[in-house]
Structure 1
Amino acid sequence: MFPHTVRLALLALSLAPSWALAEETPSIVAPEGDRFALQPAEGGFLRMNKDTGAVSFCSAKDGVATCRLGAEERVALEAEIERLRAENARLKAAAAPPRPSTLPSEQEFEKALSFTERFLRRIMRLFKEEAPSGGSL
């Protein structure tokens, strides 16, 4: 009786206008239209993606529909994942090496600080020497 219930549910969903479904369950967007073909099978149904040809076996349990990829699709999916991993590794290896820091080293910083300190001391000494000794301008 369970497959019969699934068939009835699928028939009701296929006959319901897409706007009615969208109003009742706003989280369901994306009108799939004729993207999938459904075929009853023992214990559930087969769902074929008409765009990609991928076939999944779907079943419903406790009100939750679950679809599993076929063996061929799983192999293709795993091959694509491995290809993407290899491409990711290649791109990481080909990435430009990190640029060297443009900040001065500690030694360069201390040298610049020493220069600045000597410069300021000399300027202060010149100001003291050139200051009027009488106090009036």
Structure 2
Amino acid sequence: MSKATSPSKFSTTIMAAALVFSVGGTGAGFAQSMPDTENGRYVLSPVADGVLRLDTRTGAVSICTNGGAGWACYAVPDERAALDAEIGRLQADNERLKAELAAREPVVSGKIEEALPKEILPKSDSLKKPEPKVAEGERKIEIPLPSDRDMDRVFSFLERAWKRLIEMANRVQKDVSGKI
């Protein structure tokens, strides 16, 4: 014979079974891995032809497009890797050149005290501007100021340009007032 179960015990049993089932179902849901976009691994940005995808774990960038067969992602060339490789090559080349220079014997062992004859000295160009000088002990560049002659030339140019502008404005005003 079966025993009769009271309605309160029956509903409690059903509630307990439902609770176990829901916890079990949730546990199974947590056991499955979440899609990578939900936990923040990828950052997607729309572009003209599709989507740009950044992998936040590796830093890899891909362009994803919707072709005839579906979505496909292709890695974007990494310029940083090329730059790092070039920097490494230049550093190695620099070290090699420093070692080669250190291995050479100096050509001039002492300071030359006598001056060069005038025939050998280069002729100076009167229009050539002096090159900026580097202050000793510091890495500051001293830039020479323009001469008075240069300033006079600039001011005369500006004065002529201003007079022409005023004359042109006067002509336009006369033309407009004659037509009205």
TM-score when normalising by structure 2: 0.24
Q: Bigger radius of gyration, 1 or 2?
A: 2
TM-score when normalising by structure 1: 0.30
Where is the helix percentage greater, Structure 1 or Structure 2?
A: 1
Bigger RCO (CA 8 Å, 6+ sep): 1
